[in-house]
Amino acid sequence: MRLRLLLTASLIALAAAPALPPAAVAQAQQGQEWFVPGQGQQRPPQGQAPAQGQQRPPQQGQQPAQGQRPPAPAAGQRTPAPVIAIVDIPEVQRLSAAFNQVREEIERRRARLNEDLQREQARWREEQQALAAARATLPAEQLRNRERELQDRITDAQRIFRDRSRAIDQAAQMALQQIEQALGAVIRQVAASRGVNLVLPRPLVIFNESGFDLTDEISAQMNRVLRSVTMLPEGAAPVEAPPPAAAPAAPAAPAAPPAAAPPARRN
């Protein structure tokens, strides 16, 4: 989780597009505002085999599988002595060919989106000015129709720009997941080769000797393992998150038994 936060913060800081300059853009005839895109596994009971798809805990001296946390010490077992190392995640990113590829591609897509938006806004301004100039000569019904057509076109363009911005964000997140997985595996590999069992990010450490720092070794290994990342194509539509599953309907209450008829009254 800590690695995900560090990677996400750096990608946002590096790949965020510069803000558009403020433009004196008139609003649509009906007050429409224009959109500007921004920026533990549980162990099975004793004697029971693990469920399908569940990994067995590694044996003594065996490294845990990729993405799997090492098992916690059993009750009464002493925690191993810490062997600590340090890694500078932002520096690894700066030296990572894959991370720089993602950053440059996201910047390029953001810049193209902003350019297209500015051209579309200029077109809206021209059409609004033309409508304002023809207001005195056009019949009222024809003027309303043209205003309605312009408003519909602006609404459709807003939706398209929102979809493009969301697709860029999604492509960045998917690429970030690939980098995160590779970097996590590299950190564990380098730490195991050094006999390290605890790796801390550099911002948490006030002072350390250079021998504790694994940044250069991790950076070199990262570039050997992952030189580039496969990203979603630019024209791909964003994938919508699946809607939450509906809660099962409560079972109907059983019908009340019919009331017994009163006994017949004898005369």
Q: Residue 68 has what pLDDT?
A: 58
pTM of model > 0.95: no
Q: What are phi and psi of 220, to 5 degrees?
A: -65, -45
Where helices occur in 69-210 by DSSP H, the ranges are 89-95, 97-134, 140-193
Instruction: Find the length of the chain.
Output: 267
Q: Residue 227 has what pLDDT?
A: 94
* All domains in the chain, ordered by first residue: 84-225 (3.30.910)
∠ CA 218-221-225, nearest 5°, is 130
- What is the C-alpha end-to-end distance of the chain, expressed in Å? 86
Q: What is the mean pLDDT of each run of 10 residues along the chain (267 residues)?
A: 52 42 38 39 46 47 53 75 94 96 96 96 92 87 90 94 95 95 96 95 91 95 95 77 50 50 50
